[in-house]
Structure 1
């Protein structure tokens, strides 16, 4: 299924739905609606989201949470993540999805052993709670202890040892984070349950994002490797062309057009 994190096309849900439908896709990944993360929407607004997505006949492939993300270092209060997971688990049930995107906590002054131990402890608790709630956590190759290393991703899966923790691979994260994404994918591919599609050029110090297939992330090779290894999950566009949610800046005035251009490029690439 083709899908997209459509808050990069617009803040409002109607704009997000319009972008996905204009591409002819059947899936959407929710992160923010009207600038509010899904877990922070009040009950009335969330009920409207459920109704509007059902009316548009769009399937929600994943909820992109802030758990363990760039905004929540390992030194931060764990209660925030537990509370968010509880809310999102209920909202997954209402939306008919079972996936919640998480990361593995940026460091904040701890030594390597302490950082690893705290990260594993937190993900183990979260995975147990997720399993009890019938949802699956998807760890993304992004911010956090296990974010940029295949060895650590596999170590995290082994240490947590839960069917409620699997991997999310983002094709374009290697460029801004300074690693070879395709090389990482070759080692983790059998554990990947969800894919974000983006592309980029440059280095961690100076990079920019491009249409899928036009950058240096070897997106086509990543797609081929995933398919050759039996991947049948969603392909979810996160182009970072009209909005970079983890960096300062407003939604670009032509964000819908940029999102559509990236979506068309992704569709063609996948063909």
Structure 2
């Protein structure tokens, strides 16, 4: 139970957060989780540097700080196949990042690495069939190496060939056919990528091994047109966060719910610096997730519409 809240997570669930959404410095990331009373963290960047790019001394210092704080690392968010690496890009970047991250995951005590599934060529040079074929070929190679290294790649419903379509995600999983490829589901990505997250989740439940929490709404644009996406506290947007969480509970999910507020930090938009009160805002976000989770029961049926 987190201090000062009285809201324990549902049975089988633990809370965590993507640390650099609170602050660039690891010390502040740790402090945000300690203020929440949470014992786990998800890692992406430290001082603006991806975990794979830290030199050995910097990584060793980070691992020691996490051990001293008694914070468990639940997942490492890589750049493998992400929004900045199209399918026509250099595959060696991803192979090298996986090779570097695998032993670091072992040192941190986690087996999960977040990946995506490659955007199309920025010039639109590939048809859908060829794009998908190349994605599945690369992901199979990555999964084979991940399995050999004892880590699991978690594909996110975000950028890439399989990011916004449940049928494509299932095809990716079935054709790669590896225990080293599973899914992380982000509740808030649908609005930005043009799909209903809850509907997509219903088709992917057996493969979901990690859940990230964000929420959003779209401001009205000129003449009633769709406007800018605004990220909100969980439950204050239109992404049906509570419905998604109830759905995974009703289907036996146990594991982490990890916050990714996106209130200030959005790497895909080039926004990587937290606000001056980023830790306080991160804690506020976590408290609202705790309150939202307290209203959920695994026995309650999830809505079907």
Both proteins in one fold, TM over 0.5 = yes
Q: Deviations over 1:212-254 (max 9, x none)?
A: 0110000000000000001001111101012111113343222
Which residue does the alignment assign to 2:10? none
Cα shift at 1:205 = 5.6
Q: In structure 2, what is the Cα distance between the partners aligned to 1:37 and 1:125?
A: 22
User: TM-score with structure 1 length normalisation?
Assistant: 0.98
C-alpha RMSD of the superposition? 1.1
Q: 1:199–1:212: 8 Å Cα contact kept in structure 2?
A: yes
In structure 1, the residue corresponding to 2:153 is in which secondary structure? strand
Q: Deviations over 1:84-125 (max 9, x none)?
A: 001110101000000000000000121111100110001000
Aligned mate of 2:278, from 243, 255, 258? 255
The answer as to 2:232 corresponding to 1:210 is yes
Q: In structure 2, what is the Cα distance between the partners aligned to 1:251 and 1:98?
A: 27
Which residue does the alignment assign to 2:289? 266
Aligned mate of 1:167, from 168, 178, 183? 183
**Where does 1:188-207 land on structure 2 (aligned, <5 Å)?**
188-202=204-218, 206-207=228-229
Q: In structure 2, what is the Cα distance between the partners aligned to 1:155 and 1:270?
A: 32
Which residue does the alignment assign to 2:93? 80
The answer as to 2:193 corresponding to 1:177 is yes
- Consecutive unaligned residues of structure 1, counting only runs of 5 or more, are none
Q: Deviations over 1:151-203 (max 9, x none)?
A: 11101000100000001100000111110000000110111000000000018
The answer as to 2:248 corresponding to 1:226 is yes
Q: In structure 2, what is the Cα distance between the partners aligned to 1:251 and 1:262?
A: 14
Cα shift at 1:256 = 1.7
Q: In structure 2, what is the Cα distance between the partners aligned to 1:254 and 1:51?
A: 26
In structure 2, the residue corresponding to 1:234 is in which secondary structure? strand
Q: Deviations over 1:17-49 (max 9, x none)?
A: 000110010110000001000000000010011
Aligned mate of 2:152, from 116, 136, 153? 136
The answer as to 2:135 corresponding to 1:119 is yes
Cα shift at 1:206 = 2.0
Which residue does the alignment assign to 1:245? 267
Cα shift at 1:257 = 1.9
In structure 1, the residue corresponding to 2:268 is in which secondary structure? coil
Q: 1:242–1:258: 8 Å Cα contact kept in structure 2?
A: no
Cα shift at 1:261 = 1.1
- Consecutive unaligned residues of structure 2, counting only runs of 5 or more, are 1-13, 220-225, 295-305
Q: In structure 2, what is the Cα distance between the partners aligned to 1:127 and 1:248?
A: 29
Q: In structure 2, what is the Cα distance between the partners aligned to 1:209 and 1:98?
A: 29
The answer as to 2:203 corresponding to 1:187 is yes
Q: In structure 2, what is the Cα distance between the partners aligned to 1:190 and 1:214?
A: 28
Which residue does the alignment assign to 1:145? 161
- Spell out structure 1 runs of 4+ moving beyond 4 A: none
Aligned mate of 2:114, from 95, 98, 101? 101
User: TM-score with structure 2 length normalisation?
Assistant: 0.87
Q: In structure 1, what is the Cα distance between the partners aligned to 2:204 and 2:144?
A: 22
